[in-house]
Amino acid sequence: MSDEKRNDIPGAPAPQPPSVAEPTEPHEPLPAKPDQESPEAVSPTGKPTGAPASARAQSGAYLTTAQGARLYDSDHSLKAGARGPVLLQDHHLREKITHFDHERIPERVVHARGAAAHGIFKGYGTAAKVTKAAFLAKDTETPVFVRFSTVLGSRGSSDTVRDTRGFATKFYTEEGTFDLVGNNIPVFFIQDAIKFPDIIHAGKPHPDREIPQAQSAHDTFWDFVTLHTEATHHTLWNMSDRGIPRSYRMMEGFGVHTFRLVNNEGATTLVKFHWKPKLGVHSLTWEEAQITNGMDPDFHRRDLADAIEAGAFPQWELGIQVFPDNAEQTFEGIDLLDPTNIVPEELAPVQPIGLLTLNANPTNYFAETEQVAFHPGHLVPGIDITDDPLLTGRLFSYLDTQISRLGGPNFAQLPINRTHAPVNDMLRDGMHQTAVHAGTAPYRPNSLDGGCPFLAGADNGAYVEVPVDVPAAKKVREAPESFSDHFSQPRLFWRSMTPVEREHIIAAYTFELSKCYEQAIKERALQVLANIDPQLCGQVADGLGLPAPEPTVALADTEPSPALSQLGQTWPVEGRIVGIVTDGETDLDGIRSARRAVLDAGMVPLVIAPTGGLLDAGKDPIAVQRTFANARSVEFDALLLAGSPAPGADAYGARDAKAGEPTSPGTAVDPRVMLMAAEVYRHGKAIGGWAGADAALRAAGITDAAPGVVLAGSGVEALEQVAQLLGSHRVWDRFPAAV
Ligand code: HDD
């Protein structure tokens, strides 16, 4: 297609004349196929049984076999006498064990560990200028299912590892399902899908001992990313605080590739998709992440489910960066087909087009979160692909992997994967076929089943690919020259970071590389860092005790993009957790008021006392949610130290769990409280206290003059200031800023 025409594609190509004449004209739409309902809701003849579609083999009050025969015992095998041998004829035993033996399916080859939620996407209608996709172009609501994930770890690995996070959204639109299968990092490790098996082999545990689990701090990972320097940009994001998000609710999401949108007039536009969290983008500190891996490996999964259950529905705005669809597929010199590039928001602002709200937890993890099958090729009219070679490979991989993971080609019939649009395909049979297809002519056109189904044109909703020109070219295994600049965008990212963010990046590289055994890999990694920034390289080299090499490329004078920094703004504090530590006796009324104030501010109080149970059991009791024995600072975002006894007496003294007596008379402060306070301080979290809390803080080495420490007359007063500090996520002044 010529350039003039590229932005002026006719409404869509007229439907091609069929190669064989249609035997009949389109008439009434066909009824929805039985596979639109659960098997329980449809009789073998395809007639509804009246059972709710939600019935998932759980109807009737009696325990039955899979065939519906009622059971009188499910605890004892059938035996020849109570002490005799178990009989092979026990069909119930065999059915129960056989089914159990096959309960597991292969975990995802990447993104195995995840958590998901249902929700609603509300299009603002503002995208009508650039796309005809109704769920974006109209002011309308579309059901969605979103799965977040880590990439490298197995299904049972920890949530708070340093890794990229998946952010995959299934939009059940009326025109078919659209999947936006993105990440929380806007660039990717590689530029061509053919290298995907290699980067994943390098990132996964070593094949001999299968360690380390869910980590990038090992030789093979760093070997790959330093030999394939296109990975530099993504790796730098991983080593930044983006690699350890505070919560799935506080992550950005990116479609990564450039997509092509088509509007009703047929005009095309290139776009990049962005999800912007309403709560802001926030991260853990590395030490918090590591402690959390042990304390609560399900931290992110729990956080998402708890927030939704509590009604604190997480929200993201969907936005697009818009670029003209020019022949070069570039914007301001940035190659839009290279998935290791971003386009700074300062050059192309993110324009909001809709709002995502996650408002319901899955009912069953396996049926929904595990069996959901995403695929970048699940597209709807109005959204098309570009020639990004990474995207093209993905279009093959996702369909293919589901066949092995979900046991055959009929995974689209699983409840979570069913489209909300009517389906009338000619796909038949195969493993796990649950539809009972009627008719005798699963081919088209035909003259037996009324000629149905009929073909649609673009004017009645067919998905018609944009007829872009494919330039005449030689077949080659090559990348374009523009794909060979691997350092100027990482440099842009580095220069956009604030000093404290740079400090974290330096610490992350130093940590990860210090875990490598091979000297050559560390040296190569330092060379990569020298090509990003000499200061970054120098400090990491110091940490490793190695000399810093000189850059081997000319360092680009890139403009920073302030939008890339996570600091400098204030954010809503809804859903943040405030730990309230008490000795269980002092100023209980103050604790009640502080608790209420936390709830009124939309946050979550977590009362921590020496022992469990109720405080002040008689009147208006306060439930203890954690004890000194099972609490750790990583579970909350800010700390309130409730009043402690008068100076001189034991403060939060350790008590015998049974007798409730102090175990160590004269101990000033329970060491577990000191540890909590010290960690909270070290991690830059706001600290508030009242009525004698200063003694405990001093014991932990924290002075009341320290930044982000508020001592007030009451818990409510302290909380007011703590909430303000929380708006910036952390007390950033507490971190050393070396760069
Ligand atoms: Fe992928 C899963 C994101 C490149 C092959 N990928 C998967 C998931 C996400 C992404 C979020 C989890 C989906 C879920 O929750 O079920 N992947 C990306 C992004 C990429 C990317 C943002 C680059 C921009 N992926 C990529 C390439 C290939 C794959 C280049 C292969 C050539 N990805 C897969 C896969 C997975 C997958 C093997 C594993 C499970 C699945 O698909 O359903 O096919």
pLDDT in tens, 680-697: 999 999 999 998 788 788
| pLDDT above 50 for 655 | no
Q: Does any ligand 1 atom lie closer than 6 A to the CB of residue 193?
A: yes
pTM: 0.92
> For residue 23, what pLDDT band results from cuts at 50, 70 and 90?
low
Note the pLDDT tens digit of each residue in 193-205: 999 999 999 999 9
Q: End-to-end distance of the chain based on CA atoms, in angstroms?
A: 51
Does the pLDDT value for residue 307 go beyond 80?
A: yes
Q: How far, in Å, CA of 671 to CA of 654, rounded?
A: 8
- Annotated binding site, which residues? 108, 147, 196, 394, 398, 405
What is the Å distance from ligand 1's center to 228 Cα? 20
In the reported structure, the alpha carbon of residue 398 is separated from the centroid of ligand 1 by a whole-number distance in angstroms of 7
Binding residues for heme: 108, 147, 196, 394, 398, 405
| Residue in 204, 398, 404, 406 to alter for ligand 1 test, most ligand atoms within 8 A of Cβ | 398
CB neighbourhood size of 89 (10 A):
8
* 8 A C-beta contact, residue 151 and residue 204: no
**What's the pLDDT tens digit per position in 87-145?**
999 999 999 999 999 999 999 999 999 999 999 999 999 999 999 999 999 999 999 99
397 CA closest ligand 1 atom index:
44
**Cβ(183) – ligand 1 distance below 6 Å:** yes
Q: Look at the alpha carbons of 190, 196, 197, 202 in this order and tell me if their dihedral is positive or negative.
A: positive
Name the percent of the chain lying above pLDDT 70.
88
User: Ligand 1, residues 181, 204, 392: which to mutate, most atoms within 8 A of Cβ?
Assistant: 181
Ligand 1 atom with minimal separation from the 254 CA: 22
Tell me which of 415-424, 439-448, 657-666 is least confident. 657-666
pLDDT for the residue numbered 30 = 55
Ligand 1 in contact with 371 (CB < 6 A)? no
Q: Which of 111, 188, 390, 406 to mutate to test the pocket of ligand 1 (most atoms within 8 A of CB)?
A: 111
Q: Quick one: tokens of 366?
A: 């396996």
263 closest CA partner among 15, 470, 9: 9
Based on DSSP, count helices (H) and strands (E) in the chain, helices before strands.
17, 20
390 lines ligand 1 (CB under 6 A): yes
CA atoms of 243 and 259, how far apart (whole Å) = 25
- The whole-angstrom separation of Cα 358 and Cα 200 is 30
Mean pLDDT for 524-544 is: 98
Cα–Cα dist 623/196, whole Å? 50
Query: What would the two tokens of residue 77 be?
Result: 């095998």
pLDDT, tens only, 244-264: 999 999 999 999 999 999 999
The whole-angstrom separation of Cα 202 and Cα 227 is: 11
Please give the distance, rounded to the nearest whole angstrom, from the Cα atom of residue 157 to the centre of ligand 1: 18
Q: What is the pLDDT of residue 584?
A: 87
Probe target for ligand 1 pocket from 170, 252, 394, with the most ligand atoms within 8 Å of CB: 394
CA of 183 to the centre of ligand 1 (A): 9
Angstrom distance (rounded) from CA 361 to CA 148 = 13
| Per-residue tokens: 685 | 């979290």
The yes or no reply on domain 495-564 and CATH 1.20.1370.20 is: yes
* Pick from 28-42, 69-83, 254-268, 324-338: least confident: 28-42
Read off the pLDDT band of 430 (50, 70, 90): very high
Atom 15 in ligand 1: residue holding the nearest Cα? 147
- How confident is the model over 586-615, as a mean pLDDT? 94
Instruction: Give the pLDDT band of residue 736 (cuts 50, 70, 90).
Output: confident
Judge if the beta carbon of residue 147 lies within 6 A of ligand 1.
yes
Positions marked catalytic: 111, 183
For residue 145, is it left (φ>0), alpha (ψ between -120 and 50) or beta?
beta
Banded model confidence at residue 643, pLDDT cuts 50, 70, 90: confident
pLDDT at 737: 62
**Quick check: CB of 283 below 6 Å from ligand 1?**
no
Assess whether the C-beta atom of 398 lies below 6 angstroms from ligand 1. Answer: yes
Q: Give yes or no for residue 458 having a pLDDT over 90.
A: no
Q: What is the pLDDT of residue 304?
A: 97
Structure tokens at 388: 């990004």
Nearest-atom index, ligand 1, CA of 109:
39
Residue 281: pLDDT band with limits 50, 70, 90: very high
What is the per-residue pLDDT for 142?
A: 98
Q: How far apart are alpha carbons 641 and 654 in whole angstroms?
A: 16
Q: Whose alpha carbon is nearest atom 9 of ligand 1?
A: 166
Amino acid at position 211, single letter: I
pLDDT band at 26 (very low <50, low <70, confident <90, very high): low
Q: What is the pLDDT, as a whole number, of residue 80?
A: 98
pLDDT of residue 33: 54
Q: Return all residues near 530 (Cβ < 8 A) that are at least 6 apart.
A: 537, 548, 549, 550, 551, 552
Using the mean position of ligand 1's atoms as its centre, give its distance from the Cα of residue 181 in Å: 7
Q: Whose CA is nearest to atom 22 of ligand 1?
A: 182
Q: 279 CA distance to ligand 1 centroid (A)?
A: 26
| Residue 728 pLDDT > 90 | yes
What pLDDT shows up at residue 614?
94
Alpha-carbon radius of gyration of the chain: 29
Closest residue CA from atom 42 of ligand 1: 398
Ligand 1 touching residue 374 (CB < 6 A): yes
Closest CA to 105 of 365, 306, 416, 333: 365
pLDDT of residue 246: 98
Res. 12: pLDDT tops 60 = no
CA distance 104 to 116: 19
Per-residue pLDDT, averaged over 414-429, amounts to 94
Inter-residue contact 250 to 291 (CB < 8 Å): no
Per-residue pLDDT at 335: 98
Backbone angles phi, psi at 274, to 5 degrees: -135, 135
**What's the token pair of residue 513?**
């590389």
168 pocket-lining for ligand 1 (C-beta < 6 Å): yes
Domain ranges of the chain: 114-417, 495-564, 577-734
Residue 471: which pLDDT band, with cuts at 50, 70 and 90? confident
Residue 119 C-alpha to ligand 1 middle, in angstroms? 22
Taking the centre of ligand 1 as the mean of its atom positions, its distance from the CA of residue 167, in whole angstroms, is 10
Rounded average pLDDT over 204-224: 97
Instruction: List, for residues 542-569, the tens digit of each pLDDT value.
Output: 999 999 999 999 999 999 999 999 999 9
Q: What are residue 638's DSSP bridge partners?
A: 578, 686
How much is the pLDDT for 691? 80
CATH for the 114-417 domain, from 2.40.180.10, 2.20.130.10, 3.30.1330.10, 3.30.70.141: 2.40.180.10
Strand order in the sheet with 626-627: 626-627, 604-609, 577-581, 638-641, 686-690, 709-712
Average pLDDT of every residue of the chain: 90
Is ligand 1 within 6 A of the CB of residue 111?
yes
Residue 350 backbone dihedrals phi, psi, to 5 degrees: -80, 120
Residue that has been written with the tokens 């120098």 in this structure: 538
The H-or-E segment that residue 292 falls in is helix 286-295
Q: What is the C-alpha to C-alpha distance for residues 292 and 635, in angstroms, rounded to an integer?
A: 8
Contact 650, 602 (CB under 8 A): no
How far is the centre of ligand 1, averaged over its atoms, from the C-alpha of 412 (Å)? 18
Measured from the CB, is residue 339 less than 6 Å from ligand 1?
Answer: yes
Token couple for 96: 């129960």
Please tell me the distance from the alpha carbon of residue 643 to that of residue 539, in angstroms, as a whole number. Answer: 43
Q: Does domain 577-734 bear CATH number 3.30.565.10?
A: no
Residues 692, 651: Cα–Cα separation, whole Å: 9
Q: What are phi and psi of 201, to 5 degrees?
A: -60, -35
> Is there an atom of ligand 1 within 6 Å of 145 CB?
no
User: What's the CA gap between 669 and 649, in Å, rounded?
Assistant: 9
